[in-house]
């Protein structure tokens, strides 16, 4: 389930279900309800079990993101039975700017892929060229750039238009045996 979602735009969620008694849930109907209980999407569980699970049937459901900006809680229900699950996402206004973050490894000056970038609630990951793109409204943002094994890079940025931000990540040095002597 991605987050944030842009107000009024189409969005997708994957929903899965499993029967504790081992029933085959293929074809069983799933509903998505918004915060008011209104059904915003319907779907049927597929016949294929999700990879890595022992019996979780799933489907992808498309719906229109709610029309109010802010945090939303939706509910997925399995019509045949009592299963229900709440999940959350954030609705944001349409983006105004595109910010590209170019991430390099500081020592080697080479692009770093798979780096997680957070502009407040907006998120992206860098591609094989070390570039991540975030589309967002103008405003003040706290930016966190992090990849496992590297020190967190954190800064505040005022976004006024399309722009590029260069970030150099420093490898985290982990002592081999910090405690046990």
Partner 1 sequence: MVALRKLHGGCQSHKMFTRRTHLDVNCSPSLLRGSKNMADKKQHFNPSRRRFIKEGAAIGVGSTALAGVAAQAQTRWDRTADVVIVGAGASGLPAAIMARDKGATVIVLDANHDIGGHAMLSGGRVPLGGGTSMQKKYGIADSADQVYLDHTNHKNSEFRYCDRDLVRMWADENVPTFEFLIQNGVKFNDEKPDFVNGGTVPRLCVAQVFSPNLNETINGRPGSGIVRPLEKSARAKGVEILLRHRMTAIIRENPSSGRVLGVTAKFENKDVNIRARKGVIIATGGHTSNVAFRRMFDPRLTDEYQVAGEPWTKQNADGEMLAMAIGASLWATSNQSNDGGRAVTKTRHIGVRYGYENLRWDPQSPMFEKAGGSGLTVRSFQDLILVNQMGQRFWNEMDNSYAFLSACLGTNGNLGRNGKSNGGGPVWAIFDADAVTREQWDPQPPNVDVNGWFFSADTIAELAGKIKNPYQLRPISADVLQQSVNKYNSFVDEGKDRDFARPMLMYKIQKPPFYAAWSTPILHDTLAGLKINTKCQVIDRNDQAIPGLYACGESAGGFALHGLPRVLVFGRVAGREAAGAS
If one asks whether residue 146 binds partner 1 (CB under 8 A), the answer comes out as yes
CA distance 112 to 107: 12
Q: Which is nearer to partner 1, 109 or 167 (CB)?
A: 167
Please measure the distance between the N-terminal and C-terminal CA atoms of the chain and give it in whole angstroms.
Answer: 45
Task: Please tell me whether residue 103 adopts helix, strand or coil conformation.
Answer: strand
Q: Which is nearer to partner 1, 20 or 140 (CB)?
A: 20
Q: Which is nearer to partner 1, 54 or 67 (CB)?
A: 54
Radius of gyration of the chain, Cα coordinates, nearest whole angstrom: 21
DSSP strand pairing (116-119 vs 29-33): unpaired
CB 56 within 8 A of CB 67: no
Q: Which is nearer to partner 1, 102 or 146 (CB)?
A: 146
If one asks whether residue 3 binds partner 1 (CB under 8 A), the answer comes out as yes
CA distance 55 to 18: 6
If one asks whether residue 18 binds partner 1 (CB under 8 A), the answer comes out as yes
Contact set with partner 1 (CB under 8 A): 1, 3-4, 13-21, 23, 25, 50, 52-56, 58, 71, 73, 76-78, 80-90, 116, 118, 120-121, 144, 146, 148-149, 152, 177-181
């Amino acid at each position: 389930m991605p987050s944030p979602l842009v107000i009024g735009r189409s969005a997708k969620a994957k929903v899965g279900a499993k029967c504790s008694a081992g029933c085959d849930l293929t074809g069983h109907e799933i509903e998505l309800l918004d915060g008011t209980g209104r059904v915003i999407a319907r779907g049927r569980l597929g016949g294929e079990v999700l990879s890595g699970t022992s019996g979780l049937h799933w489907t992808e459901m498309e719906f229109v993101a709610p029309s109010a900006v802010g945090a939303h809680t939706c509910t997925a229900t399995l019509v045949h039975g009592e299963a229900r699950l709440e999940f959350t996402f954030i609705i944001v206004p349409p983006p105004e700017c595109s910010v590209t973050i170019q991430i390099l490894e500081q020592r080697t000056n080479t692009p770093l892929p798979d780096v997680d970038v957070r502009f407040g609630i907006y998120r992206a990951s860098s591609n094989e060229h070390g570039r991540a793109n975030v589309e967002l409204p103008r405003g003040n943002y706290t930016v966190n750039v992090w990849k496992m094994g590297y020190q967190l890079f954190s800064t505040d940025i005022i976004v006024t238009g399309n722009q590029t931000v260069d970030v150099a990540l420093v490898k985290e040095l982990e002592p081999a045996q910090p405690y046990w002597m």
